[in-house]
């Protein structure tokens, strides 16, 4: 009898999984009428094209060939949507953001990797976390970060100066490594009241190495991550992290080691902050940041919050782990992108350097001056427009929904469609980079890096499009309730570091072949090693006499 019951349960479970997955394949769908490219293969659909590290050409093809929406195929024939129409994006990430939720594989695997932080929660749980965290990233707190940013930035300048001074020619340095170490130390001191790296040694410590190895390793197991929703959800994230060691895959084992290193570091930071707060104000002021760092502010706010609004310890540790990864990888890669573009355009590099030198006069810039430098702002905005660190995000519909469009599209049946009915459980890919480079909005020069476009009023088509991004008519930092909570922190960090570096050094391209890899966060590799790296030729800046 028990054997028959177990057999029946097994049959029902398998049948449910098959129906859940193959329903879209066998049932006719309104998505069938939407134009799109052919499937790459039945097994993978178009996933290998949009997830391939060299998939930039395919994203450009989608951007140039389709009017804001295209039908793609997922594994085994499942239909998915690729969207960069501004009205449709507004509905996805703002108006109906709780219908278009984060993909299940993304949330569940992030819970295993980072713990229950902002990247791992949904609905009311996410809103509760966000409510407590939003005030931490206010402009008032950002202003107080400037001295810390400058202090860390000067340590970076000294480290580079020690390596290039006295050399007859420019010295080749891995600027990705230096930017990653600097970004980690900045989020450490300004965000967590903790020092990771004095920026003196030639190579980073094990923690920084682990965080920087995350994205290249993640790229190798991306299809494993997408299988997670079809695995029973049992035990704690810690238990599931432990079980990963039994997966016979070297990249999965490496990811487990990276995650364990990050989690140990986050726990150590939390315990130190908690102990200092328990010991009183004197102990807090003895810590790095003197209790003015973002995590100290968060812990105090959590202690003073109503009981129903407080976050448990595991979620606070999850926020630390999330902050470290998000603040280090995206900002450091964006800084390297900016330096690489300045190396390709030496005239822009010198113009920006002169603006910085004229404003600073040898002194550190105050907040109000820093954020008001027009050319610095234009260079940063244009880099983040054309080279958004995150190219696309995935959503899944939790119920049937109708998606309106800003402009009608012609269906395969020849009829014009003003809105698209989307069935429950449909995967939707939001093309952040496609929106930023959409020629229908930004003009025919959308694929050109032109900082000057930000020095005059933007074209009417840009403002009229009402792109739902939280930053400068761009989707770089997303929008809605899941917009990047630390985008002001990131912008400030970029500007401080660029000002300090360009005042002292010149940057030129290396002779090595560099490839920018499409990933969850884009990253560069040099040569054929596969290791994240970006060598550049760095020299002391020598002003020419008038």
Tell me if 484 is assigned to a ligand binding site. yes
| Pairing of β 514-517 and β 523-526 | antiparallel
In Å, what is the CA distance from 502 to each residue of 218, 307, 361? 33, 48, 13
Tell me how far apart the alpha carbons of residues 119 and 521 are, in angstroms, rounded to a whole number.
14
Phi and psi at 460, nearest 5°, equal -60, -35
Chain centroid to CA 48: 20
269 and 320 Cβ atoms separated by less than 8 Å: yes
The first and second tokens of residue 330, run together, are: 């995206």
Task: Tell me, letter by letter, the H, E, C secondary structure of 232-286.
Answer: CCCCCHHHHHHHHHHCCCHHHHHHHHHHHHHHHHHHHHHHHHHHHHHHCHHHHHC
Q: At what angle do helices 175-186 and 206-220 cross, to 10 degrees?
A: 110
Q: Name all contacts of 466-473 with Cβ < 8 Å and 24+ positions apart.
A: 466/86, 466/87, 466/90, 467/86, 467/89, 467/435, 467/441, 468/86, 468/89, 468/90, 468/93, 468/94, 469/435, 471/384, 472/381, 472/384, 472/385
DSSP 362: T
Report DSSP letters for 214-235, one per residue. HHHHHHHTHHHHTTGGGS---S
First-residue to last-residue Cα distance in the chain: 96
Query: What is the enclosing helix (H) or strand (E) of 429?
Result: strand 427-431
Tell me how far apart the alpha carbons of residues 212 and 271 are, in angstroms, rounded to a whole number.
24
Most distant CA pair in the chain, distance: 96
Tell me how far apart the alpha carbons of residues 414 and 406 are, in angstroms, rounded to a whole number.
19
Q: How open is the CA angle 21-24-25, to the nearest 5 degrees?
A: 90
157 and 182 Cβ atoms separated by less than 8 Å: no
The first and second tokens of residue 265, run together, are: 């570091």
Q: Per the annotation, where are the binding residues?
A: 484
Q: Per the annotation, where are the binding residues for heme?
A: 484
């Amino acid at each position: 009898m028990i054997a028959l019951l177990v057999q029946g349960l097994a049959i029902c479970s398998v049948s449910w999984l098959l129906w859940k997955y193959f329903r879209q394949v066998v049932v006719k769908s309104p998505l069938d009428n939407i134009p799109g490219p052919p499937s790459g293969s039945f097994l993978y659909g178009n996933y290998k094209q949009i997830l391939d590290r060299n998939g930039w050409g395919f994203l450009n093809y989608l951007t140039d060939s389709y009017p804001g929406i295209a039908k793609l195929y997922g594994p085994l024939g499942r239909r998915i949507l690729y969207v960069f129409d501004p009205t449709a994006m507004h509905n996805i990430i703002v108006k109906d953001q709780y219908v278009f939720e984060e993909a299940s594989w993304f949330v569940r695997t992030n819970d295993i990797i980072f713990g229950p932080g902002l990247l791992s929660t949904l609905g009311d749980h996410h809103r509760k976390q966000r409510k407590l965290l939003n005030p931490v990233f206010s402009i008032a707190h950002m202003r107080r970060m400037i001295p810390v940013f400058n202090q860390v930035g000067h340590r970076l300048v000294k480290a580079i100066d020690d390596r290039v001074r006295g050399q007859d020619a420019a010295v080749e340095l891995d600027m990705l490594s230096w930017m990653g170490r600097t970004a980690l130390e900045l989020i450490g001191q300004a965000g967590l009241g903790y020092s990771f790296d004095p920026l003196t040694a030639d190579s980073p410590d094990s923690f920084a190495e682990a965080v920087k190895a995350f994205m290249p390793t993640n790229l190798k197991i991306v299809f494993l991550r997408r299988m997670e929703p079809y695995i029973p959800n049992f035990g704690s994230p810690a238990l599931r992290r432990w079980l990963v060691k039994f997966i016979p895959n070297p990249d999965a084992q490496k990811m487990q080691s990276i995650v364990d290193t990050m989690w140990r570091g986050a726990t150590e930071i939390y315990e130190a902050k908690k102990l200092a707060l328990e010991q009183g104000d004197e102990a807090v002021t003895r810590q790095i940041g003197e209790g003015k760092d973002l995590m100290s502010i968060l812990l105090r706010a959590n202690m003073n919050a109503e009981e129903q609004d407080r976050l448990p310890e595991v979620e606070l540790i999850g926020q630390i782990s999330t902050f470290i990864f998000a603040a280090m990888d995206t900002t450091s890669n964006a800084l390297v992108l900016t330096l690489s573009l300045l190396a390709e355009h030496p005239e822009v590099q010198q113009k920006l350097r002169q603006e910085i030198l004229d404003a600073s006069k040898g002194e550190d810039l105050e907040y109000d001056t820093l954020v008001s430098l027009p050319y610095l702002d234009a260079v940063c905005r244009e880099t983040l427009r054309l080279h958004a660190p995150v190219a696309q995000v995935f959503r899944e519909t939790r119920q049937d929904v109708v998606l309106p469009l800003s402009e009608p599209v012609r269906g395969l049946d020849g009829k014009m469609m003003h809105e698209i009915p989307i069935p429950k459980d449909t995967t939707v890919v939001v093309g952040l980079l496609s929106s930023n480079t959409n020629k229908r909005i930004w003009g025919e020069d959308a694929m050109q890096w032109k900082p000057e476009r930000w020095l005059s009023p933007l074209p009417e088509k840009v403002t009229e499009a009402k792109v739902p991004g939280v930053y400068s008519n761009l989707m770089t930092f997303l929008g809605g309730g899941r917009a990047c909570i630390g985008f002001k922190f990131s912008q400030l960090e970029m500007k401080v570091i660029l000002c300090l570096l360009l005042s002292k050094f010149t940057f030129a391209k290396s002779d090595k072949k560099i490839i920018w890899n499409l990933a969850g966060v884009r990253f560069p590799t040099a040569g054929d090693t596969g290791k994240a790296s970006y060598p550049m030729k760095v020299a002391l800046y020598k002003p020419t006499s008038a």
